[in-house]
Structure 1
Amino acid sequence: MLDNLLKKKSNSNIKKNYFYLLLIQGTNLVLPLITFPYLVRVLGSEKYGLVMISYSLMKFFIITVDFGFNISATREVALLKDNINKLSKFFWNVTIIKLVLLVITFLILLLLTVSVDKLQLDPLIYLLSFGLVLGQSIFPTWFFQGIEKMQVITIINVIAKVFFTITIFFIVLGPKDYYYVPILNGIGFIVSGLLGFLYSLKYIKIIFPSFQDIKNNIKKTFSLFVSNIAVSLYSSTNTLILGFFIGDSIAGVYASMEKLILAIQTMYTPIYQAIFPNLSTKNKMEVKDTIAKMKIPIALSGMVISLIIFFGAETFLRIIFDDDLISSYFKVFQIIGFMAFLSSLNMLYVTLYFPAISKYKVRMKILISGGFLNLILALSFVKAFSIYGVASSAILTEFFMLLFAFYFYKRTIDDRG
């Protein structure tokens, strides 16, 4: 009787967290998806491409400051949520590390803007874009996800970002206004981040960790940090590579299509994030059973989406962007459209399964291999095949990673320990 009640409560929390996480992810990706078609028309392909290149660089910094806490800290909070003192000490542990990394990444950005030729052409656009890093860093999604209380911070997140997104349509009116894009988006992220952080203080005390506690947390999470940096080698570098080797306009074309794929992936991310805190407290066999039940539905839905993109690529691009340059590259969208299938399964293993059973080093091996493979392929293909070569490198990387992930998954399935 008690077990059934606890199971129903657990399922109810998962559903609620999925809904709120879906809103947050949807806000972060769908709102830009609404504004980017407008920005393509208003800014022109060159300035739009420059904004996208700066955003791609910011992804590296966001991943660096996150340090893998989106996984490790969420899991730890889920385990500590009934002990206020330990939970509070861990909260400040993570917060201190993230603030230090935030300062370090900003100093690195300053160095890049004065030493890299590409960034020296327009350093202000990159400095203004750092607001995204600041806002994303201070928003404690990992904490609320772990304690399974997403409702209030979801409302905060959505309202702040919707408001500042709407202002883009009133302020950004021509190519000369491209600086306002990172300013307005950054303010939206910073306001929601500050409000979310202040609200989190309701659930914790001020108990600072020792230096040794911080050191241990860094050591424990380091493999996840390396893994996430590797992720950026195939999720963020392609736009940068095109910007450096081909030009801002083509980088903007690729980034536009990539945003559509990321919006599709939004459907899967909240599912995995909502399940993760509860799944991470289960034993190994229960985790395996859950993954086994999810595999086929995830694969089928991903394949259907990929096929829809393949057959409707040109039509979708014309309707969404109404831009002849972007529409002329519809075959690129057909190629990267298969990421909807491949990445949905990759995420099942890499984002949910291996972290849930604490196989962080296995996850690291998969992501590092994929990251360096994409970097090598993209740099090899870009000069000869331009945007088509970079798109092909992305798909080949996702396919390789899926094979690698499934191989390690089967090994853990066979290992009964």
Structure 2
Amino acid sequence: MLNRITSILFKNKQFHKLSVYGFGQLFNLVTPLIVVPYIVNICGEENFGKTAVGMAIAFFLIVFVDYGSDIVGVREISINRDNHANTEKIFLTTYAVKFVILMVVLLIATLCFFYIPYFRKEKILFVFSLSVLIGQFVNPTWFLQGVENVKWITLLNIISKVIYLTGIFLTVKVVEDYIYINLWWGLGMIIANLFVLLLIFKKYSFNLKVVSFLEIKKHLKNDFSMFSSQIFVSLQLYAPVIMVSYFGSNLMAGQYKIIEQIIVIFKTYIFLFFNFIFPKVCYEVEHTPNVAFRNWKIYNGLNFLFVLTGMIFFYVFSYEIVSYFNPTNRYFLSELLEVAIFIPLLMAISTPLKQLVLAFNYKKFYIRLTAIMVIISLLLIRLVIPSYEVYGVLYSLIFTEIIIIIFYLSCVRKNTLKISSN
């Protein structure tokens, strides 16, 4: 059976695309391993915690700039990839909407950073972090995912990470230089994404046209529900470190971020694997549902085994792994890591189920469940931080991930049984 699966994979064009895509994403996974120990050693855990808060805020605001294009846009491009006129219209309209939102978000965020006391103390760091939003506005990855152009996604990732690493090692030399860390992340995104965006206009013969206000308004209205759900997803991902800093301390935020930076290697991998497989799942569910479910089981089953192997490794060598990041309390952090490994494991189950939920177009169910579970998760985190500190945050995230899996299973069960019987 294993030989048969291996033979299918190596003969499958999708497997070769995955190999190219995986090579590019390797830079996303390796970058924290290279740069975080250096940052902690130069700037300390507390300042690393401050940069983590700035990055978390930027990543949360990204959901406004994206406005659901990372899901709806991918799906629409995937379905319309053979229709040049529709593809060009979706592409230009999406960017017009993103530009309008970017201007509003930059203005509001800048005002908040200068006039709200909590942000004003580190206003330069937070303003520099907004460069990440500009980079995300330019980012054409959503389009490349839709047309399954993995070579350019790989090119984009390599360029951006090389710029980021070069900037950090050249400019972060003393404790006070922590303010430049997030800026270099944003500059790497802007330069790499702009370069690939220009390549897209040339290869796909897109013409820059003015998008009417009515089209922008229509797009905003149609995608609002998915955008609102992504706000909750973003809160789930990035609010914990902000809450740890606000209700705890920057030192606690730094400790949490070190643990997250370790498991984020697999969390990022899981999200990237979702982004790679999702367009294919959508296309096959629409045209060949039997093939779709079979391929879904093969890809995600092998992916879970890979994540499981990684988490066993993290558990066995937890002390050695956290020691690599130069923290002050290594035994404490190693115990935290032994708890945190369950988060990627559960995500390796919930994320494939999410693929089916969205491919079957259960948008209302997904939106409602996401909103409710994120609210519950954040309330739990707020309640447990005073007593259980970082442990409480991890337990809250694990609990909500289990509940999400249960509801996803109940949603897709009827459809998958129907497909399997055909």
> TM-score, with normalisation over the residues of structure 1?
0.90
For 1:371, the aligned partner's letter is: V
For 2:318, the aligned partner's letter is: A
Q: Any idea what SS the aligned residue of 2:207 has?
A: coil
Aligned equivalent of 2:351: 347
The one of 249, 253, 266 equivalent to 1:251 is: 253
Q: Any idea what SS the aligned residue of 1:406 has?
A: helix
1:338 partnered with 2:354? no
Residues 327-351 of structure 1 deviation map (CA, whole Å, 9 limit, x = unaligned): 532221111111121011111111x
Aligned equivalent of 1:380: 383
Q: Tell whether the 8 Å contact from 1:346 to 1:402 is kept in structure 2 after alignment.
A: yes
Q: 1:20 to 1:65 in 2, by over 3 A?
A: farther
TM superposition shift of 1:113: 1.3
Return the alpha-carbon distance in structure 2 between the equivalents of residues 138 and 326 of structure 1: 40
For 1:309, the aligned partner's letter is: F
Greater CA drift, 268-277 or 385-394: 268-277
Aligned equivalent of 1:323: 327
Return the alpha-carbon distance in structure 1 between the equivalents of residues 15 and 155 of structure 2: 17
TM superposition shift of 1:293: 4.1
Q: Any idea what SS the aligned residue of 2:168 has?
A: helix
Q: 1:254 to 1:142 in 2, by over 3 A?
A: same
Q: Tell whether the 8 Å contact from 2:357 to 2:411 is kept in structure 1 after alignment.
A: no
Aligned equivalent of 1:3: none
Residues 229-281 of structure 1 deviation map (CA, whole Å, 9 limit, x = unaligned): 11122211110011101111110111111122121133333333222222212
Q: Tell whether the 8 Å contact from 1:88 to 1:207 is kept in structure 2 after alignment.
A: no
Q: Tell whether the 8 Å contact from 1:298 to 1:345 is kept in structure 2 after alignment.
A: no
1:310 partnered with 2:312? no
Q: Any idea what SS the aligned residue of 1:280 has?
A: helix
TM superposition shift of 1:396: 1.2
Aligned equivalent of 1:278: 280
For 1:220, the aligned partner's letter is: N
Gaps of 5+ in 2: 1-7
Q: 1:290 to 1:300 in 2, by over 3 A?
A: same
Q: Any idea what SS the aligned residue of 1:282 has?
A: helix
Residues 69-100 of structure 1 deviation map (CA, whole Å, 9 limit, x = unaligned): 11111111122222222211111110011111
Return the alpha-carbon distance in structure 2 between the equivalents of residues 303 and 393 of structure 1: 21
Residues 130-168 of structure 1 deviation map (CA, whole Å, 9 limit, x = unaligned): 111211221100111212223235224312431331231
Q: How many residues align?
A: 408
Residue correspondence of structure 1 range 88-107 to structure 2 within 5 A: 88-107=88-107
Return the alpha-carbon distance in structure 1 between the equivalents of residues 345 and 294 of structure 2: 21
Residue correspondence of structure 1 range 171-210 to structure 2 within 5 A: 171-202=171-202, 203=204, 204-210=206-212
Q: Any idea what SS the aligned residue of 1:321 has?
A: coil
Q: Tell whether the 8 Å contact from 1:335 to 1:395 is kept in structure 2 after alignment.
A: no
Aligned equivalent of 1:391: 394
Greater CA drift, 14-23 or 384-393: 14-23
Gaps of 5+ in 1: 1-6
Identity of aligned residues (%): 25
Q: Tell whether the 8 Å contact from 1:64 to 1:101 is kept in structure 2 after alignment.
A: yes
Return the alpha-carbon distance in structure 2 between the equivalents of residues 358 and 399 of structure 1: 22
For 1:330, the aligned partner's letter is: S
TM superposition shift of 1:372: 1.0
Residue correspondence of structure 1 range 16-165 to structure 2 within 5 A: 16-165=16-165
Return the alpha-carbon distance in structure 2 between the equivalents of residues 21 and 215 of structure 1: 34
Q: Tell whether the 8 Å contact from 2:241 to 2:253 is kept in structure 1 after alignment.
A: yes
Q: 1:372 to 1:258 in 2, by over 3 A?
A: same
Q: Tell whether the 8 Å contact from 2:236 to 2:374 is kept in structure 1 after alignment.
A: yes
Aligned equivalent of 1:265: 267
Greater CA drift, 159-168 or 394-403: 159-168
For 1:246, the aligned partner's letter is: G
